[in-house]
Structure 1
Amino acid sequence: MSGRTVKLSGNQIKAIRLAIGDSQAALAERIAVSQPAIFRLERKGSQFVSGPEVILIRQIAEQHRIDIDSIVGNE
């Protein structure tokens, strides 16, 4: 992941959260942000977002062997 910006859409973030069985609050706790922060990310829908939270969410997806493109489609 080095050398490039990690981006996920709000839909991908929600799909990752649901695939690992977390509530918004549980995912927020995992990555040390508030539940409203997760809500705001997911609310972006098909819009891509980046930032430290997104890097952590992507790492969680990789740890759970989640193929992000296959669960939401390549937006």
Structure 2
Amino acid sequence: PKSLTVAGSKFVDALFRQWNMASPVEAEAIEMAEHFWYLNAGKARDELGFAPRDPAETLNETVVYVRENFLRNDAFKQAVSSR
């Protein structure tokens, strides 16, 4: 039951804080996990013509972009060192 899991996670969190240790359980995460999350892109598809891409294609293009814009010719090192 939700009340037991949330209360238990808060207890574990308080116990670990007492020992000055990071808790392996976050009460907020447990509470959010109790909810059913459902997303539907149907409205975006119908009204805006949205068409989701293959995640592998998106990831590949992201890696290429990062390599070209941040890792090429030490661009990343220059950007970080200028901070």
Normalising by the smaller structure, the TM-score range is under 0.3
The structure carrying a bigger helix percent of its residues is 2
What TM-score do the two structures reach when normalised by structure 2? Answer: 0.21
The structure carrying a bigger strand percent of its residues is 1
